[in-house]
Structure 1
Amino acid sequence: MKKGFKSLIMLLIAACIFFSSVTVGNADDGSEKGYTYNYDYWGDIQYSPDAYSTVGVYTSVELKLDKGFNNATGMYVHGDTVYICDTGNNRIVKLQRTNTNTFELVRIIEYINGDIDVKTLSGPTDICVPEDGYLYICDKGNNRILKLDNDLNYVMEFTKPMDATFDQSTAFLPNKLEVDGAGRVYCIADNVNKGMIKYESDGTFMGFYGASEVTYDWTDYLWKKFATKAQRLALKSFVPTEYDNLYMDSEGFIFACTTNVTEAGIDNGTDAPIRRLNLMGKDILIENGNFNVIGDIYWGDAGGYKGSSLMTDITALDNGIYFALDKVRGRIFGYDTQGNLLYAFGGNGNLAGCFKLPSAIEHIGKQLIVLDSQNASITIFNPTEYASLIYKAIEEYDAGDYDASGATWQQVKALNGNYDLAYIGIGRALMRQGKYKEAMSYFKLKWDERNYSKAFKQYRKEWVEDHMGFIVAIFILIFILPMLTRKIKAIKHKIDVAKIFQD
């Protein structure tokens, strides 16, 4: 009897293991792998279907280069053309995307034509190719920014500003740059913490742009007040932080990111790793999400690093969605225009879709390209159905097609029932359709107080308008009728006590 009971228990355990393994094997949506995730209202990690799938990892072998990338640090996309700054090899590699999965080598940029003394590149770190087709190159080792035409003929160069506001004892080391439609150059240079260096199209130095606010600790400030001169010299100065990278979006605003942040600064909100700068250099980044735009909100020791995310580059799609690249944990964070985290994915390692030391991110359409300087490769990502539906829902809403947007968010919710933004997206679409009560229920489910308040305000207004007759009747019954009754009783009382009626 006892032996038979043990056998029954073993059979039940084996059945449970078998069916659970079958369930896991069929769940190929990314949620079991833990590759793509988000945070809910409470800050808990919610795994989701993969937003992007890896098309391929391309090294010098696949790209048919004569030698591998050496500390490649910069990348730029112009149409279907990809420029990669192969910094350690003193060259720029120009590639052409011929289809979704194929890139062909166009040329290697090493030498410059024209009337110029130094005709070779030295440690190029970034390149920008605006609509006019000119090439702007951060030729860092030669302390200059080059402007070349498409045939690599020398046009002009931007050098160290000879201005009192620029420390003349500091070498000019241009690291990253962007160029606007008028030919103005915005440059991030090493050892310059006053913001980006801004040049007019003719090379005139126009000052500094987008200087970050000075951050400091109050305890250090108080300590400096009472410290000796030697102690004060030993303390760090309160200076603005330097930027690491920049990207000009389709509206002409500049996204900037910095790794010069501290855990304390991230916690108290004084450090902003990502900014969006207007023409005046003021930060206009919208952060209406549950959490600030900081990447990971929990900082374990994933990837062998303990601390906040360090954003080394950023890119933005035409629909306003932008992606920040964390160089320490190899993760990509996608945000919408309101600062909501859409999804995060990636990691450190040798697997496809993971990185060793990512240094740059770009996009062609909605396809993402990540440059890994340590792995000497580029990784291509395509959006999955899940991400494509999210994009479609957002774009439909922005276009004013609220019915279609709500229906698309329903499809997203079907793929990921834990996705807060799907519920909020449905609620926003309903609110735009005037269905305020239904919208309130979706906002309430995901604790969206801001949109719930908006929907409730409109629902209250609508209810009052629809019930105005009833409200007036109640008002008459409660206030006017008692007043009339009292008035009638007073008149009756006067009549009753009048002498004319007492004779």
Structure 2
Amino acid sequence: MNRRKIFLLIASLFTLCAGLFAKADTYTYNFWDDIEKSPDAYRVSHVLYANDLGLDKPLKNPTSLFADGNTIYLVDTDNNRIVVLTYTQKKTLELVKVIDRVNDSPLVGENTTFKAPQDIYVSPNGYLFIADTQNGRVLKTDKDLNVLLVITEPDDPTYEKGKAYLPSRVIADSKDRVYLLSKNVTKGFLKYEADGSFQGYYGATKVIVNPIDLLWKKFATEAQKARMESFVPTEYSNCFIDKEGLIYAVTASFEEYDLRSGKAAPIRRLNALGTDILVQNGYEYPIGDVIWGNAGGVSGPSRMSDITVLDNEIYLALDENRGRIFAYNNQGYLLFSFGGKGNTKGNFRKASSLEHIGKDLFVLDSTSASLTVFTPTDYCNLIYTAEEQFSVGEYDESAATWEKVLKLNGNYDLAYIGLGKAYLRQKRYKDAMEYFKLKRDRRDYSKAFKYYRKEWIEKNFAWLTIIVVVIILIPLVIGWVKRIKWEINSL
């Protein structure tokens, strides 16, 4: 065997081993926006393809996942079907059935099959809502696939006619009111009542105007203006409805320079009025990566393609641009990030959908037609536990858990801040100030200092009163003595 063959064999073995043992680095950002590496938050449990799921043909451009209890619905778009799987206690996925049509019904006529469906949602009441995209409709069915309602293009003056009606994402609340995203619609969600009547738009984003383009338009000719892109609101790319019935939405349409100022808001939490109420108290706005470059053919900031929210109010957003997952707590602090672009385990070619069951995560890769299952590590579980303990008022327990996190990762800023918050709730204000100062948390440091100052004044009020009285009386006594002395000398 010549040297060239030996070299190729070694290179092949190295590549194989790298693929088997590859893992995506986990990291956060510190106060200075420097990357801080950390222990793994999640590990790859399985990477599954069609044959692993017991399917008769490969997945083709799968676009969406939805979890209902232990059931996973996988939308296999270009195969015009929905794959139903169950997640077992052994952390494996088993095929339940394949849905490729609904039952005969006068509501759909002969058109009972799907055409490039892109999403499915199961409401709290057990109804299925299927975004049958290329058929231009959303189907509401019961568990037996009997059609109960067909939602089509709105017949309303506010809806712009002439564009294809292509519903791509759908969710519903506890009253079975439907919120859907449709391609070519830039006014937010299309909102429908439970009976299918169109109610208008929800959560429309603010128009973000490029000031340079705006200035240029003032001096452009009519022909140039016609060729320029109109200023329109950005489109949402995906959504998730949390346990409180509030909608989390992500958008990948924004200008890079609007990220730092918070104008872009790629992750939002919408209240009943459609107003963004996402808390953003972290070092940076929840935008994914806060620094980015151009490497491996990938450039620009994070572009979120999906979002999911755990029961502990921690939300995780999926970056399609670099294949990363970013986890934030309900205050907007980045807990960790992991993943990447590539063909190895834990990386993705085009990460299109993110879901969870419990704390396990499922990521769909539409290009490689695969489903990756992630399970949390002990390190991740400690972070989740500390957050959960604090949220229910178990401050002593939360502080103890953050101490355990620090033993695994001494550079983890949020553990110091978490300890500071726990001490603040325990009325250990001076200790809280030290931890907040250490990690430059000015907001919480000011709060702790205010309470510490009040506590110190209350404890030392008597001495302060005596000192003040003495300071006031000393000049009076001195003056009184001088006056007596002067009167004596005047005799």
Amino acid at match of 1:212: T
Q: CA deviation at 1:481?
A: 2.6
Structure 2 CA distance for partners of 1:303 and 1:342, relative to 1, 3 Å: farther
Q: CA deviation at 1:268?
A: 3.7
Moved over 3 A (4+): 487-497
Amino acid at match of 1:386: Y
Deviations 1:446-468 (A, max 9, x none): 11111111111111111111111
Does structure 2 retain, via aligned residues, the 8 Å contact 1:302–1:329?
no
Residue in 1 aligned with 2:41? 51
Deviations 1:342-400 (A, max 9, x none): 00000111211111111000000110000111111110011100000001101111111
Does 2:429 align with 1:436? yes
Does structure 1 retain, via aligned residues, the 8 Å contact 2:23–2:346?
no
Structure 2 CA distance for partners of 1:100 and 1:278, relative to 1, 3 Å: farther
Does structure 2 retain, via aligned residues, the 8 Å contact 1:178–1:248?
yes
Structure 2 CA distance for partners of 1:66 and 1:316, relative to 1, 3 Å: same
Residue in 1 aligned with 2:351? 358
Alignment match of 2:271 (pick from 278, 286, 306): 278
Does structure 2 retain, via aligned residues, the 8 Å contact 1:303–1:347?
no
Alignment partners' CA distance in 1, 2:97 and 2:292: 42
Q: CA deviation at 1:328?
A: 1.4
Alignment match of 1:453 (pick from 433, 446, 450): 446
Q: For 1:11-90, what aligned pairs fall within 5 Å after superposition?
A: 35-90=25-80
Alignment match of 1:145 (pick from 138, 153, 157): 138
Alignment match of 1:170 (pick from 163, 167, 173): 163
Percent identical residues? 50
Deviations 1:111-136 (A, max 9, x none): 21132311111111000001211110
Alignment partners' CA distance in 1, 2:125 and 2:325: 31
Amino acid at match of 2:267: I
Deviations 1:177-212 (A, max 9, x none): 110000000000000001100000000100000000
Alignment match of 1:305 (pick from 298, 315, 319): 298
Alignment match of 2:99 (pick from 100, 109, 125): 109
Q: CA deviation at 1:338?
A: 0.7
TM-score by length of 1: 0.90
Does 2:371 align with 1:381? no
Alignment partners' CA distance in 1, 2:184 and 2:486: 94
Alignment partners' CA distance in 2, 1:234 and 1:433: 62
Deviations 1:226-265 (A, max 9, x none): 2221222222211100110010011111010111122222
TM-score by length of 2: 0.93
More displaced stretch, 169-178 vs 261-270: 261-270
Does structure 2 retain, via aligned residues, the 8 Å contact 1:199–1:205?
yes
Aligned partner of residue 73 in structure 1, secondary structure: strand
State the aligned residue count: 468
More displaced stretch, 109-118 vs 155-164: 109-118
Alignment partners' CA distance in 2, 1:368 and 1:480: 71
Larger Rg: 1
Alignment partners' CA distance in 1, 2:141 and 2:337: 38
Residue in 1 aligned with 2:183? 190
Does 2:396 align with 1:403? yes
Does structure 2 retain, via aligned residues, the 8 Å contact 1:303–1:329?
no
Q: CA deviation at 1:303?
A: 4.5
Alignment partners' CA distance in 2, 1:307 and 1:295: 11
Amino acid at match of 2:83: V
Structure 1: where are the runs of 5+ without partners?
A: 1-29
Residue in 1 aligned with 2:18? none
Does structure 2 retain, via aligned residues, the 8 Å contact 1:360–1:371?
yes
Alignment match of 1:292 (pick from 285, 293, 302): 285
More displaced stretch, 33-42 vs 167-176: 33-42
Q: For 1:254-273, what aligned pairs fall within 5 Å after superposition?
A: 254-273=247-266
Does 2:231 align with 1:238? yes
Q: For 1:204-215, what aligned pairs fall within 5 Å after superposition?
A: 204-215=197-208
Residue in 2 aligned with 1:417? 410
Does structure 1 retain, via aligned residues, the 8 Å contact 2:260–2:285?
no
Residue in 2 aligned with 1:123? 116
Alignment partners' CA distance in 1, 2:262 and 2:228: 23
Amino acid at match of 2:370: S
Alignment partners' CA distance in 1, 2:88 and 2:28: 34
